[in-house]
Amino acid sequence: MPDKTLIKRYILNFHERDFEGVIPRELTVKTLPGRATVIIGPRRAGKTYYLFSLIDRNVPERYLYVDFEHPVFHPMTPGDFIDVLDAYHELYPEIEKPVVLLDEVQAVQDWERIVRYLLDEDYTVYVTGSSSKLLSREVATHLRGRSLTYTLFPLSFREFLRFKGVKYRGRELYRNTPKINRLLEEYLRSGAYPEVALAPEDVRELILKDYFDVLIKKDVLERHRVKNVHLLNELLYFSLRAYSKYVSFDSLYRLFKGRLRVTKRTIANYFAYLEEAFALFLVRRYGRSPKGRIVAPRKLYLIDTGLALFGEKDVARDVENAVFLELNRRYSLRPGLEVAYWKDEAGREVDFVVSENGKVRELIQVSLRLDDERTRKREFLALLHASKRLGCKNMKVITLGEEGVEDVSFYGMRGRIELIPLSKWLLGRGIS
């Protein structure tokens, strides 16, 4: 049982912290009576500091923040949490119900009992935890429909610039264009984890390597008790070199079966573990046929472009990966909205199809540059074919620098295509 005197000291020390340096994030969460607000996401994406950003700096004592990995709270059972509440109320008897912020809840066995008790007593509750213990489906199971779950990704480019102290709104965008372009190169190369963004250049790779090693060890190997470690390492090797490319479980099975003890199911399971751990994403092909979507190859994207430093770094694929992650940030709160890719029987491809409740809202092509006429025609022609087939006239090509609108006509097909630089698109907000 935790020592109440130590708990009080912990609470007071927390309330004396300086929260002025906490940089707000873009994720907006809601609270509903009787439901906990749960923030999940990859390790080191900033979930703890997100909780800090929710605190009113003028009245920090109205918040009870509990880091269950702090030594004061070890060991703890759900029943012991009553002592934590008592300690708080003895310090602040005038506050009937603080806002409760529970961090790293997975450190307490049966943590959901604490959350359900607080909800039953009408407390406002926020919860975060390690991605290896707090998956979206597990939250739903443990809290029995009494949660609102949000995903916090690594920094958007807008957040990245704020972390760097660079303004980009209005006239500042034009004043700071050279600096913004330079930071875009850094964003694509080293990625968007908050600590990495603030770290000196000479240690960024070391931090990323540590993140990646812990993610694989804790969230994949230990969590799922992976037996075929050699196969998992091969799949990681492949993923870090094939990001923004197609992946087929069948082709990987044929590749490995002569060298390793492997089944298609094992390959599929290991990729599912990596997705659960927010290491990567596998994107389906857009189509009306459920069977076709299931059997078609997926496109593989990493949670952070910085991780590609441990594979085969490629700026064109970094750009496409960054676009995918931004689409997910923008639309993760819209359940009916889906991001897929499109490919027809002739091999024409569109990188991203954004659809909502079955209706295609946007077609996005990603290309570093369009100064080569063959590249320009290929990208435009694929968009026109997809536009005709999918009934969507909202088309754009994201490039590193080209900007404008073109009226395009090929083989009787016509359309208006917006060309937009990556930096400008990343600083926007997306479709309404």
Residues 80-92 pLDDT 10s: 999 999 999 999 9
DSSP alpha helix (H) spans, 277-314: 290-295
pLDDT tens digits, residue range 82-137?
999 999 999 999 999 999 999 988 888 888 999 999 999 999 999 998 765 666 66
Q: How is residue 300 written in tokens?
A: 């593989």
Residues 195 and 102 reside in one and the same domain: no
Give the CATH number for residue 108.
Answer: 3.40.50.300
Residues 217 and 74 reside in one and the same domain: no
pLDDT (average), residues 140-154: 84
Judged against a pLDDT cut of 70, whether residue 403 lies above it is answered with yes
Mean pLDDT of the chain: 92
What percentage of the chain has pLDDT greater than the value 90?
75
Judged against a pLDDT cut of 60, whether residue 277 lies above it is answered with yes
> What does the alpha-carbon distance between residue 54 and residue 45 come to, in Å, rounded to a whole number?
16
* Angle subtended by helix axes 229-241 and 249-256, to nearest 10: 120
pLDDT number for residue 293: 82
Residues 336 and 392 reside in one and the same domain: yes
| Report field, pTM of the whole predicted structure over 0.75 | yes
In which band, very low, low, confident or very high, does the pLDDT at 138 lie, cut at 50, 70 and 90? Answer: low
Residues 39 and 132 reside in one and the same domain: yes
pLDDT number for residue 134: 66
pLDDT number for residue 158: 96
Q: Is residue 305 part of a domain?
A: yes
Please work out, in degrees rounded to the nearest 5, the angle formed at the alpha carbon of residue 143 by the alpha carbons of 142 and 144.
Answer: 95
Domain of 405?
Answer: 189-426
pLDDT (average), residues 45-54: 94
Residues 6+ apart with CB under 8 A from 140: 147, 149
> What does the alpha-carbon distance between residue 323 and residue 354 come to, in Å, rounded to a whole number?
12
Judged against a pLDDT cut of 80, whether residue 429 lies above it is answered with no
Residues 122 and 201 reside in one and the same domain: no
Neighbours of 303 (CB within 10 A): 28
pLDDT tens digits, residue range 3-36?
889 999 999 999 999 888 888 999 999 999 999 9
pLDDT (average), residues 294-312: 95
Residues 221 and 315 reside in one and the same domain: yes
Residues 300 and 422 reside in one and the same domain: yes
Residues 206 and 281 reside in one and the same domain: yes
Q: Is residue 402 part of a domain?
A: yes
pLDDT tens digits, residue range 327-373?
999 987 788 899 999 999 999 999 999 999 889 999 999 999 999 99
Judged against a pLDDT cut of 90, whether residue 395 lies above it is answered with yes
Q: Is residue 245 part of a domain?
A: yes
Number of domains in the chain: 2
pLDDT (average), residues 171-179: 90
pLDDT tens digits, residue range 240-262?
999 999 999 999 999 998 888 89
The CA–CA distances, whole Å, from 297 to 143, 245, 252, 294, 347 equal 35, 10, 11, 8, 13
Least confidently predicted of 6-15, 285-294, 398-407:
285-294
Residues 297 and 398 reside in one and the same domain: yes
pLDDT number for residue 5: 92
pLDDT (average), residues 317-329: 97
Least confidently predicted of 41-45, 109-113, 143-147, 383-387:
143-147
Residues 377 and 255 reside in one and the same domain: yes
pLDDT number for residue 432: 40
Q: Is residue 158 part of a domain?
A: no
pLDDT number for residue 137: 65
Residues 404 and 296 reside in one and the same domain: yes
> What does the alpha-carbon distance between residue 322 and residue 305 come to, in Å, rounded to a whole number?
7
pLDDT (average), residues 266-290: 92
In which band, very low, low, confident or very high, does the pLDDT at 147 lie, cut at 50, 70 and 90? Answer: confident
What percentage of the chain has pLDDT greater than the value 70?
97
3-state secondary structure of 49: helix
Please work out, in degrees rounded to the nearest 5, the angle formed at the alpha carbon of residue 262 by the alpha carbons of 305 and 298.
Answer: 40
Residues 279 and 390 reside in one and the same domain: yes
pLDDT number for residue 289: 77
pLDDT number for residue 181: 94
pLDDT number for residue 120: 94
pLDDT number for residue 117: 95
Judged against a pLDDT cut of 60, whether residue 41 lies above it is answered with yes
151, 169, 201 - which closes a domain: 151
